[in-house]
Structure 1
Amino acid sequence: MYRHFMSAALASAAICPAAAASGAAAQDAPPPTGPPEDPESDVYDDTWMSIGIGAGLGPSYSGSDDFVLFPAPILQGRVGGIGISPRPAGLALDLIDDAPGSAVNFYVGPSFRLRSDRANQIGDEVVKLAGKLERAYEVGFSAGISKPALLNPYDSISFGVDTRWDVAGAHSGMVVEPGVSYFTPLSRGMAAVLSVSAEYADNDYNSYYYTVDAAQSAASGLNLYEADGGFNSVGTNLLLSMDLDGNLLNGGMSVVLIGGYSRLLGDAKNTPYTSERGSTDQFFGAVGISYTF
């Protein structure tokens, strides 16, 4: 009954670029009241779609301590046995159509993302002097596994990883984003997703975003710095979905709230873009409204 809604809520957490932490808060939540008795009220069948728009507030670039507003569109669903899940400025497809009632569910499919870090909205004037970067068009795959009914009949835990490569010649590198998410309904009209994830990138990626070369140093006054591949961040985010008519399963209008925190690591932390001009601590928030049918 809740299988498709679990997938939708877990996917919604991906619109937040921050990641990770403890599941204690979710475990302390009150037990769900259970699904409606009428199975026809479940909109999350083999074909459904959720569309919406939101506004986010986050760092102007990875490592910035200046905050900017940006739009956060929402698109997710399942059409023709193919799942559609949101990603930050992108999406992932699930090509596996698991049978209802499966003890374990799998997902795998292509993943896409447009990365605009330091391509626009640079809040720091010194960093802006170092020059804008090109947008990266990342293409790769998403894969994972989820286990329903972990602590109660309606919750789920999911483990997954996105791996993508830039195909536009911007950073020309690879980024890997592993994560784990826990979903549980809090009541008939509200659900929560707590997510933990990290980011790993290769030398090409980190050199593009975190190196300060001679020309950038001369233009901005930042110290020279050479970055190598490694883990860039780890964090946590919490998503709350609240159905406006009090029934999660019948679709309609919902409000989505997201709050997140991530901690930069390695060269993402040590680069002058962060250590001289920004912050290791990265915070994010978003609010949106969606319609499911």
Structure 2
Amino acid sequence: MALRPVLLIAALAAASPAFAQETPPPADTGGDFAIVGAGAAILPDYEGSNDYRFTPVPAAAGRLGGFNFQLVGNRLSVDLLDDGPGPGWDIQAGPVGVLNLNRTSIKAIEDTRIKALGKISTAVEAGAYFGIGRVGVITSDYDRLSVTATYRHDVGSVHGAGVFTPSITYMTPLSRKAMVGIFGSADRVEHGYASTYFGVTPQGSAASGLAVYDPRGGWKSWTAGVGGAVSLTGDLTGGLQLVAGGTYSRMLGDFADSPIVSVAGAKGQWIGAAGFAFSF
């Protein structure tokens, strides 16, 4: 069983996929339920940018017939294993799908050099995740420590490569009305991803003025984040919640050295998000 807690529905899950495979709210009985949310996030114009913009973030999560599902922004995942409620070990496994929207809209990019490189089509990435967590670790029967690994691959021909993401997450309720979470993750990508989003072809160099660059695949970045939720009505198991959080990511290796990052952008990026979620 692996369900996003309320705090991530409109905020942190939008900021990082590491928050996308986590726990049910306090007092989970193992029955069906749903959480829907909406919020706004401030995020870089593109992966590696030093310019920022606002974007809306829709989200939904729930359990139906013993299967947990999560839809957050451009990411959908389903946990096919039901370990039951309460303290103990929690094994998670299931499919995941992502629409990679990086640089798919020229209008959303401020930097003229990146605009000149041209639009990249939306990549449809599909794969699976596996994780193991422990519910009831330190503070109560409902806090949770989880380690997850996700692999997804472009099913089309946009970048034709895979992305591997290991992550670790800790979440704890402070009461029936508030909870917090922290996480860390990293992305390792294959060459096709690297060259598509961080490479500069001779034609792109002539158009943008950026140097020709062909990065290898490898560890692309690490990310750390924190967030929380507070109930405005009811408690975390039902009612309206205010959610907020943020992440910081740092580019690594060839990706940090790409002129798309080192010249036109920045090695570090922040994402912040806030919104409302309703659980029932």
Aligned to 1:29: none
Q: CA deviation at 1:172?
A: 0.9
**Identity within the alignment, %:** 34
Separation in structure 2 between the aligned mates of residue 98 and residue 287 of structure 1, nearest angstrom: 31
For the aligned residue pairs, the C-alpha RMSD in angstroms reads 2.0
Q: Is the 8 A contact 2:61 2:69 kept in 1?
A: yes
1:141 paired to 2:141: no
TM alignment of 1:30-49, pairs within 5 A: 42=27, 45-49=30-34
Q: Return the match for 1:99 from 50, 74, 84.
A: 84
Give 1:201's aligned residue.
189
Q: Give deviations 1:195-232, integer Å, cap 9, x for gaps.
A: 11011101111111111010100010100111110011
Q: Given the alignment of the two structures, is residue 54 of structure 1 paired with residue 47 of structure 2, yes or no?
A: no
Paired position in structure 2 for 1:131: 118
Correspondence for 1:84 among 47, 54, 69:
69
Equivalences for residues 221-236 of structure 1 within 5 A: 221-236=209-224
- What is the match of residue 202 of structure 2? 214
Alignment of 1:172-191 (within 5 A): 172-191=160-179
Equivalents in 2 of 1:97, 1:221: separation in Å?
53
Normalising to structure 1: TM-score of the pair?
0.86
Deviations 1:213-272 (A, max 9, x none): 1010001010011111001110211121111125222x1111110111111111221110
Residues 1:119 and 2:104 aligned together: yes
Which secondary structure state, in structure 2, belongs to the residue aligned with residue 119 of structure 1?
coil
Separation in structure 1 between the aligned mates of residue 62 and residue 70 of structure 2, nearest angstrom: 7
Q: State whether residues 186 and 192 of structure 1, in contact with CA within 8 Å, keep that contact through their aligned partners in structure 2.
A: yes
Q: Which residue in the other structure is 2:157 paired with?
A: 169
Q: Which residue of 2 aligns with 1:38?
A: none
The more displaced of 268-277 and 97-106 is: 97-106
Number of residues paired by the alignment?
A: 269
SS in 1 for 2:109: coil
Q: Could you tell me which residue of structure 2 aligns to residue 282 of structure 1? A: 269
Report the CA distance between 1:54 and its aligned residue: 0.8
| TM-score computed with the length of structure 2 as normaliser | 0.90
